[in-house]
Amino acid sequence: MNRLKRSLFSICLILAMVMGMTTAVSAAEDLSVGTAKNSYLASGSCGSGVSYSFDSSSGVLTISGSGKMKDYHKEGDAPWYTQRLHVKSIVVRPGVTYLGDYSFKYCQAVNAVIPASVKSIGTKAFIYTDKLGRIYYTGTKKNFKSIKIARGNSKFKSADVSYVSSMTQALTKVSSASSASSGKITATLNGSVLTIHGKGSMKDFIADMSGRPEWVKYRIKTKSVVISSGITSIGNYAFSDFTNLVSISIPFSVSRIGYRAFYKCYSLKNLTIPNSVTVIGQNAFQNCTGLTTVTMSNSVTEIPAYCFNQCSKLTSLTLSSYTGKIKNCAFEGCKALKTVHYKGSSASYRNLSISRGNARFKKAKVSFT
């Protein structure tokens, strides 16, 4: 009997210890998650001799120290990942020599400061940084070109580079850029017509549904999009995956259409881009498989890479002589393209620069007006 009591007591003691350990671990995990997700000014280590800080009031993520950042290997590894949609600028201080794999994935920074001390950038360090448009580099053009940039950093490579003489000058430019207003943009759905209201520049969005606009909830119901006059740009991923969208009305106030703005709008039929538009992002209309006719803006100087890639039903394209370049694979997979209406002379058309992956465009019959 005493032996049984001792055994029961031992079992209870072991169970109490296990439960206590589990509670402690859970509490520690909860504390860790709460700290990472809810802190407004995060800081810590991101490599041997390298640290980070994120200021939520300015949206500036700063990497400082001496040496290499660590590599991150899966989504959510970087300690600032939970704040990625709030990052407006990435500032790397002199002394840092390497930016790690996947470091800034999905960060929505519009600019970055890169010092001359950076010699290499890891795999996909800047993947899905869809808003990145400007890099301030504190060195020479020759030195910038010597940076070893691993695969998966196309957004970094395509950003405009400004060469500045000092870190102070770079930070001044970042500060002035981040103070610009993007305007208030809202949306209403009436039946199947989605109307976008407001003034100014629409913000850029990301591939992750958590970073899409509020109107993404209407993407299945929407058949027509009407953008109000006064809006000056259509953001990255603004209407991506609106699979039932048939028509778009773009006002003359719009000057920019962002990266993948209308990606995978399978039901889109006809497209007219007004002459106010001067810039179109890569992949803007990729996989719009129902698209049959396109009339380009007279103000677009180049059709970017993959712009109409895999628009398999596109038969007719109207192009201005003002367009001087067609970039890689812009019309790849446009197997139905038969006619190009060119607003210019045959001599002007012969000067058109056509990059690889546009064989179907080259085979199309060209008429001149």
Has residue 359 got a pLDDT over 50?
Answer: yes
User: Residue 73: what pLDDT?
Assistant: 85
User: Residue 184: what pLDDT?
Assistant: 76
Higher confidence at residue 178 or residue 294? 294
Proportion of the chain in helix, strand, coil states, percent, rounded to 5: 20, 30, 50
**Residues 31-44, mean pLDDT to the nearest whole number:** 45
What is the percentage of the chain residues whose pLDDT exceeds 90?
63
Higher confidence at residue 18 or residue 82? 82
What confidence tier does 176 reach under pLDDT thresholds 50, 70, 90?
Answer: low
Has residue 30 got a pLDDT over 60?
Answer: no
User: Residue 224: what pLDDT?
Assistant: 97
pTM of the model: 0.57
Has residue 148 got a pLDDT over 60?
Answer: yes
The H or E element spanning position 145 is helix 141-145
- Contacts (Cβ under 8 Å, ≥6 apart) of 190: none
Has residue 112 got a pLDDT over 90?
Answer: yes
CB 245 within 8 A of CB 223: yes
Q: Per residue in 193-227, pLDDT tens?
A: 999 998 888 988 888 887 889 899 999 999 999 99
Query: Tokens for 37?
Result: 């997700």
**Residues 119-132, mean pLDDT to the nearest whole number:** 92
User: Residue 19: what pLDDT?
Assistant: 44
Look at the alpha carbons of 196, 198, 201, 206 in this order and tell me if their dihedral is positive or negative: negative
What confidence tier does 3 reach under pLDDT thresholds 50, 70, 90?
Answer: low
What is the percentage of the chain residues whose pLDDT exceeds 70?
86
User: Residue 42: what pLDDT?
Assistant: 67
CB 72 within 8 A of CB 98: no
Has residue 313 got a pLDDT over 70?
Answer: yes
Check residue 238 and give left, alpha or beta (phi > 0: left; psi -120 to 50: alpha).
alpha
Q: 9-23, 115-129, 174-188: lowest mean pLDDT where?
A: 9-23
Higher confidence at residue 110 or residue 113? 113
User: Residue 6: what pLDDT?
Assistant: 53
Within 13 A of 121's CA, how many CA atoms are on the CB side?
Answer: 25
Residue-range domain boundaries for the chain = 41-178, 185-368
Please give the CATH architecture assigned to the domain spanning 185-368. Answer: Alpha-Beta Horseshoe (3.80)
**Average pLDDT over all residues of the chain:** 86
CB 126 within 8 A of CB 156: yes
Has residue 31 got a pLDDT over 60?
Answer: no
User: Residue 328: what pLDDT?
Assistant: 95
Higher confidence at residue 192 or residue 179? 192
- Contacts (Cβ under 8 Å, ≥6 apart) of 58: 88, 89, 178
**Residues 333-346, mean pLDDT to the nearest whole number:** 95
Decide whether 41-178 matches 185-368 in CATH topology.
yes
d(CA 171, CA 351): 41
Q: Per residue in 260-311, pLDDT tens?
A: 999 999 999 999 999 999 999 999 999 999 999 999 998 898 999 999 999 9
Q: Which amino acid belongs to residue 272? A: T
Please give the CATH architecture assigned to the domain spanning 41-178. Answer: Alpha-Beta Horseshoe (3.80)
Kind of pairing between the strands at 316-320 and 325-326? unpaired
